[in-house]
Structure 1
Amino acid sequence: MAFSVPSLVMLVMIFSSPISSFSCDLPQSLDVGKQETLTVLGQMGKISLLSCLKDRTDFRFPQEMVEASRVQKAQALSVIHEMLQQIFNLFYTEASSAVWNTTLLEQLLSGLYRQLEDLETCLLQEMGEEGSLLGMKDPTLAVRRYFQRIHLYLQEKKNSSCAWEVVRVEIRRWFLFTNVLTRKLRK
């Protein structure tokens, strides 16, 4: 799948202004990206969620990451990075390509890839300031388990359009989590 240069910019900006409070210097363009990401994900919807009510499921989003009273920056960045990587992996499959509009899917993937690059730089800087990876294992493991449940669900539903629609809505929900996590970092 070829990525166009304009689509690389599309999702570079996933998070709202709270991310600028990190000591790493992320591009200012990140401030508007979350809305653009939500827009692309919204445009990807091609069937009514109402017609897929029987396919809804609880993926057991790892709420403990949101409810933690003290979140370190490096840990939060690690979780965000892992989530973005897992979202990229999820949508970068043949099964996903068969369901979604190719142009919108390319925009989503290109933006996620660019965002991952930006976050890797920031994560390395924060890890240097806050110490080792020891505190990051449990949250990123919870993220991996969460996405494993999503992958198993898609397999069980034979990658149906309704199953992908349920997953698309779930991924949009993740962006709300990001707001909560980045707000905690500002405190």
Structure 2
Amino acid sequence: MCTRGSPFAAMRFALLAAIHCLAQARPTPGRCHLQGRLVGEVHGLLERMGGRFPPECLGDVVAIAAPTAAFRSNGTKRNAGVERAVYHTLTSIDFLFGNDTVPVSWDGRTVEDFQNIVYRQIDESKCVSSRRATADFKDRRRLLGLYFDRLASVLQEKEFSACAWEVVRRELLQTLKFILNNTLGHLFWARRRRNFH
């Protein structure tokens, strides 16, 4: 018989506590989703890390077609294609910022927080990428691939200059703003809707 103070009761309590912690830490398959709040934080950190677009970089602005069609709903309540497109966007952002060549004028702590939040969102939502692809995801992926290839080309052509990064940051802000303002109704994430300007 296990009494309250017995070693068996203590072990049982510790085991139950450990199981409870594991259940809390691991998302269940039915709860796999992107977190709108974190996407909003990514947008806010990206905006704050460099401040206003520098006037001296206006000559470096290039026309890059935003991949808005990649985030358009196909009319279903839960659009897996949109969700995968947003996830693909986050992984591409992570890849762009993975080379540690961002301008020294940007706030280093904010850049680090940005990278951590992007990675956290990717890690916590990786089950999104393993879901069965929708028929239209191939087109969505192609649009996103062209967009991110163009951003990477801007950085390489301008030798990762501060202005090249500002152009990339400006583009990503617009894309994230579009995602936040136009996809919340199609994804299982934060229900409170807020327009990003």
TM-score (norm 1): 0.70
Q: Helix, strand or coil: the match of 1:60?
A: coil
- Rate the CA distance shift 1:82–1:32 in 2: closer, same or farther, 3 A: closer
Name 1:5's counterpart in structure 2. none
Q: Helix, strand or coil: the match of 2:102?
A: helix
Q: Could you tell me which of 121, 127, 149 is aligned with 1:121? A: 127
Give the whole-Å Cα distance in 1 for the aligned partners of 2:127 and 2:73: 25
Give yes or no for contact 2:151–2:168 (8 Å, CA) kept in 1: yes
| Structure 1 residues 143-154: aligned runs within 5 Å | 143-154=144-155
Give yes or no for contact 2:101–2:160 (8 Å, CA) kept in 1: yes
- Deviation at residue 48 of structure 1 after TM alignment: 4.1
- Rate the CA distance shift 1:110–1:185 in 2: closer, same or farther, 3 A: closer
Name 1:106's counterpart in structure 2. 112
Give yes or no for contact 2:73–2:82 (8 Å, CA) kept in 1: no
5+ residue gaps in structure 1? Answer: 1-22
Q: Considering only CA atoms, is the larger Rg found in Structure 1 or Structure 2?
A: 2
Name 1:156's counterpart in structure 2. 157
Give the whole-Å Cα distance in 1 for the aligned partners of 2:30 and 2:45: 27
- Rate the CA distance shift 1:113–1:49 in 2: closer, same or farther, 3 A: same
Write 1 or 2 for the structure with the bigger share of helix. 1
CA offset digits 1:101-145 (Å, max 9, x no partner)? 432222111111110122222454xx3xxx545431110121011
Give yes or no for contact 1:38–1:172 (8 Å, CA) kept in 2: yes
Q: Helix, strand or coil: the match of 1:61?
A: coil
Q: Helix, strand or coil: the match of 1:58?
A: coil
| Structure 1 residues 4-23: aligned runs within 5 Å | none
Q: Which one-letter code corresponds to 1:41 in the other structure? A: L
Name 1:74's counterpart in structure 2. 80
Q: Which one-letter code corresponds to 1:111 in the other structure? A: I
- Deviation at residue 185 of structure 1 after TM alignment: 5.2
Give the whole-Å Cα distance in 1 for the aligned partners of 2:149 and 2:164: 15
- Deviation at residue 183 of structure 1 after TM alignment: 2.9
Name 1:19's counterpart in structure 2. none
- Deviation at residue 50 of structure 1 after TM alignment: 1.9
Name 2:22's counterpart in structure 1. none
Are positions 1:62 and 2:74 aligned together? no
Name 2:9's counterpart in structure 1. none
- Rate the CA distance shift 1:133–1:163 in 2: closer, same or farther, 3 A: same
Give yes or no for contact 1:80–1:178 (8 Å, CA) kept in 2: yes
Farther-moved stretch of structure 1 (64-73 vs 143-152): 64-73
Name 1:10's counterpart in structure 2. none
TM-score (norm 2): 0.67
Give the whole-Å Cα distance in 2 for the aligned partners of 1:49 and 1:35: 23
- Deviation at residue 79 of structure 1 after TM alignment: 0.3
- Rate the CA distance shift 1:37–1:159 in 2: closer, same or farther, 3 A: same
Q: Could you tell me which of 40, 43, 50 is aligned with 1:38? A: 43
Are positions 1:89 and 2:95 aligned together? yes
Alignment RMSD = 2.8
Q: Which one-letter code corresponds to 1:158 in the other structure? A: E
